[in-house]
Structure 1
């Protein structure tokens, strides 16, 4: 009998992972290593580079090579079969004029008709394969062709005058139309002869149609990591023969001050908790709070897993170096860290904060660092796949978020023997950080106290810091893969 599959339901695999994808990959790696199940990532967003991204994460050791990833559009478009097929080639038409230029390693070709009107704008990737073609009529862009990573036509977008898309046709690698999508629905599914065989009213219906195709009738388990995208499919009449686990990756509330507003990602689950076989949260404190507020009984607290660092004796953190690993978005409060460093700098002029991660706040944060005269004390180092070297290099990891479901980066830092300074917020940090043992906690928003505690720690002796690092690593012992795997094994055994 084949192994049971466990499907992880996601939206996308981007060039930069969010905490949700990263934590799910860690879970998948743990399942491969310790549990007799086969993890399968399921994604439903259209992303031409999704398999390129996935392969990079495998190559960099972020996700196990034995974990597969199935994307909705690539499934219907048979995209991976394009590896064995020739790329689309544009024939040069001698009657038309051409202008070529290279920008960011891409070749840009403009094509003009005999009246010198622009009719095509063609972009080639650095590997010489087509990226996209814009088509023009009377000076207006009307259609855009996009090509997959192997250079075959992926989909055609039909544009309004304001360049918004009103209809998209998706093709398989053999040139046959497989999906037609209208802006607000419906989705039309075509058979092998490009004849319409199904009309689906909206994206949810398309996702359900796809899940039925890939999961089939044999009973498996689905773990819903992106609840806003998938939860409604499992509420009410059971439409798939699966056992369901909903995972809360963040707090169940969105109002961090009064906790009076339910997080929209989990609202449907909390309103219909028994439509799911189990709900998994990441901390015991969140489990108790949900049980108390909602009376829900099918809850389990299972944290993220970690891998403990090897011997700390060989690790030599840079003196006065602080590190932060985070998406650069407003809720992570990186601006607080910059303001805190201005205070620390008054006492330790050579203090350095290295920030790793990307996001929409990056340019604004760089300007803030410049205005605070921190250009010699703060560096923005972008996104990195593997962060262990970052934690190894810092004397202290800093976290300033206002609300979290667990704070995986804090656990990763501790597991590498890097103590943590953090605001005391729900959830996770209060269960991970022991005051004056493996780091410190500060009331949210108290930047003066945060800075004071940083200065105090950086001024400790080498031997004192060594004890902190040892205790940091020891505090992550209960979160090692084998122990977290035991919790998942118990849960899955009760379902399968």
Structure 2
């Protein structure tokens, strides 16, 4: 009998980067093979009923993957919530109680004034359902935040520290207004001080002091216990779930630590310190039945740093082969030889500003060259300002988030990656699969596993903006060479990162972990 597969994720949402896409694909892969497959999420998000529905509609997850959420189950729901009901639109006149309000520029949000005093900040979702309400006292200190689901039910209230503007106490409610969980936080450092779980009669079921892990371990244990199977495999896919896996002990479950990111801190070299997010897993790596990395290079670097303390395995990503599908044939687009592509989160880690500065050098030689940057992030405003300052408004365009990166890559003559570090650089694989060669900084980890320099793309010295600009210029001035590189890149991905290879490696790792657990 096949083991039940559980993948631990802190959260799942619709507009996310490579890690979420890879994890959804990973779970879907096991569901396709007939494994009972669950993704367990530990964050509070009242939009999960809509998220599950949208993921299925967008074909982002297999229909037999069950996405569970800890807060939904604490609230009392025994099955995942999926809703087809329309969201409840709200009336601003009603929410403002007839008081005047103004709109926050660039947001679907409003400030309410009562006889001149700012009292509320009301944030709406895109469909004009209520998201949250912030309340303020006469000194403009935020006193609390109310969070609602898409149907107007109050789900959470955060009572704020007036000076630090951070939560001190959080109360979670079911649809009848009954509190099922209370959490106390230290507003200075964000650490959890106390968690109380309540029964349906409002009596206290459990109390956890200075402990933000045990209630998660308890929930995971209950999930594994209620699903009948003598053998299970638990995979921690995100670093915020590592502590759960470290503290989880179950006679029927093997554990796998899956590292999707680099373990290195600045300056991201082999002898660099281990980044704080990865430390818990690295320091307890011998407790897992298997530890899985995305590249052989990272495996070697970890062995050189901490030794061979665990059964280390390597499973790279794969990209779905859709060439034989009608949909795939229809989407096969001709290349725009004047268009470069970036698909990335807009964060300082990704160094998108380097690409824009390098592109200015390219535009000096290829004035009609264009660059599309797809993604969202906290650097969007800074990048808009940079584009304007460099007078590139007619050449560089911020396009927002895309749910279909394949379609985007197919348009361009090349794509660019300038991250400080990666776990694998899934965007490189996706671009090469779509016959779009990549110009990438020489970083750890991923690009060097896929890009053969000057054959199917270019590897550029990390941080060398002039060389980056020169390679982009070369691609525009030699489009036939770029197209040839793209075709070679596609073959390389199909030969080295196929779904068949992915399947073989995962089945080996699952067997390996089970043997370690049950030998």
Same-fold call, TM cutoff 0.5: yes
Which residue of structure 2 lines up, in the alignment, with residue 44 of structure 1? 42
Which residue of structure 1 lines up, in the alignment, with residue 217 of structure 2? 208
Do 1:9 and 1:43's aligned partners in 2 also have CA atoms closer than 8 Å? yes
Report the more deviating stretch, 258-267 or 364-373: 258-267
Which residue of structure 1 lines up, in the alignment, with residue 319 of structure 2? 306
**Matches of 1:474 and 1:486, distance apart in 2:** 20
Which residue of structure 2 lines up, in the alignment, with residue 442 of structure 1? 460
Q: How many residues align?
A: 488
**Matches of 2:107 and 2:344, distance apart in 1:** 29
Question: How far off its partner does 1:400 sit?
Answer: 0.9
**Matches of 2:450 and 2:275, distance apart in 1:** 23
Q: Deviations over 1:328-360 (max 9, x none)?
A: 111111111111111111211111111011111
Corresponding residue SS for 1:179: strand
**Matches of 1:56 and 1:81, distance apart in 2:** 13
Question: How far off its partner does 1:269 sit?
Answer: 2.4
- Cα distance change of structure 1 residues 136 and 85 upon mapping to structure 2, 3 Å threshold: farther
RMSD: 3.4
Question: How far off its partner does 1:303 sit?
Answer: 0.4
Answer yes or no: is 1:484 the counterpart of 2:502: yes
**Matches of 2:418 and 2:137, distance apart in 1:** 52
**Matches of 2:345 and 2:134, distance apart in 1:** 33
Q: 1:366 aligns with which of 371, 377, 384?
A: 384
**Matches of 1:362 and 1:385, distance apart in 2:** 18
- Cα distance change of structure 1 residues 156 and 294 upon mapping to structure 2, 3 Å threshold: closer
**Matches of 2:71 and 2:448, distance apart in 1:** 42
Question: How far off its partner does 1:309 sit?
Answer: 5.3
Where does 1:83-122 land on structure 2 (aligned, <5 Å)? 98-99=98-99
**Matches of 1:85 and 1:467, distance apart in 2:** 50
Where does 1:213-224 land on structure 2 (aligned, <5 Å)? 213-216=222-225, 218=229, 219-224=231-236
Answer yes or no: is 1:14 the counterpart of 2:32: no
Q: 1:168 aligns with which of 145, 167, 170?
A: 170
5+ residue gaps, structure 1: none
Which residue of structure 2 lines up, in the alignment, with residue 353 of structure 1? 371
Which residue of structure 1 lines up, in the alignment, with residue 153 of structure 2? 152
Answer yes or no: is 1:455 the counterpart of 2:473: yes
**Matches of 1:475 and 1:444, distance apart in 2:** 23
Answer yes or no: is 1:341 the counterpart of 2:359: yes
Answer yes or no: is 1:185 the counterpart of 2:193: yes
**Matches of 1:292 and 1:386, distance apart in 2:** 39
Q: Deviations over 1:248-285 (max 9, x none)?
A: 11222213146320122222222222200111000111
Question: How far off its partner does 1:460 sit?
Answer: 2.1
Q: 2:259 aligns with which of 224, 240, 248?
A: 248
Corresponding residue SS for 1:61: coil
**Matches of 2:306 and 2:428, distance apart in 1:** 29
Which residue of structure 1 lines up, in the alignment, with residue 188 of structure 2? none
Answer yes or no: is 1:196 the counterpart of 2:204: yes
Q: Deviations over 1:297-349 (max 9, x none)?
A: 51111001112353889531112210011111111111111111111112111
Do 2:290 and 2:512's aligned partners in 1 also have CA atoms closer than 8 Å? no
Corresponding residue SS for 1:331: helix
Q: 2:485 aligns with which of 468, 471, 489?
A: 468
**Matches of 2:493 and 2:276, distance apart in 1:** 31
Corresponding residue SS for 1:76: helix
5+ residue gaps, structure 2: 186-191, 515-519
**Matches of 1:85 and 1:411, distance apart in 2:** 38
Answer yes or no: is 1:421 the counterpart of 2:426: no
Question: How far off its partner does 1:237 sit?
Answer: 7.8
Report the more deviating stretch, 55-64 or 100-109: 100-109
**Matches of 2:307 and 2:143, distance apart in 1:** 55
